[in-house]
């Protein structure tokens, strides 16, 4: 993938993970990934409409998945797509936890493990600094 395309994805995302909203500067030791929303193994292209900036943790948990099981309804549901979906429609912050407002949100929170202790700690620090 060309560096210019990576930079475009990074700029569009405001240098934040498009899933967890954590800014890159908060995790300077961990380089964020240019993630294929629809994985290449499923025919996803390396083009701007199929790419998102993702924290390594989010990208590794998402993997090639396009769907997962909603923990509330036990149904197969598509994951949050930052090119199509609005974050605020699917997620909310409840104290330090990201909660899913929709089946897509719940499923994504669960699969990406968005509330693991490390992420909650980083979120708490960012909120205290008014940077989240």
Q: What angle do CA 46, 77, 71 make, to 5 degrees?
A: 125
Please provide residue 30's backbone torsions phi and psi, each rounded to the nearest 5 degrees.
Answer: -125, 110
Q: 13-47, pLDDT tens digit by residue?
A: 999 999 999 999 887 767 899 999 999 999 999 99
Residue range 93-102, pLDDT digits in tens: 999 999 999 9
Quote the pTM value. 0.92
**The pLDDT value given to residue 79:** 98
- Residue 66 phi/psi, 5-degree rounding, is -110, -20
Nearest to 58 by CA among 127, 122, 6: 122
């Amino acid at each position: 993938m060309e560096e210019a395309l990576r930079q475009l994805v990074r700029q569009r995302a405001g240098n934040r993970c498009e899933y967890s909203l954590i800014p890159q500067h908060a995790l300077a030791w961990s380089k964020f990934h240019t993630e294929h929303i629809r994985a290449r193994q499923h025919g996803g292209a390396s083009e701007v409409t199929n790419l998102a900036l993702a924290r390594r943790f989010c990208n590794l948990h998402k993997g090639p998945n396009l769907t997962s099981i909603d923990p509330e309804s036990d149904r197969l549901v598509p994951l949050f797509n930052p090119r199509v979906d609005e974050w605020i429609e699917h997620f909310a912050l409840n104290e330090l936890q990201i909660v899913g407002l929709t089946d897509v949100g719940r499923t994504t929170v669960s699969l990406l493990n968005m509330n693991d202790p490390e992420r909650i700690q980083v979120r708490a620090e960012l909120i205290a600094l008014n940077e989240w």
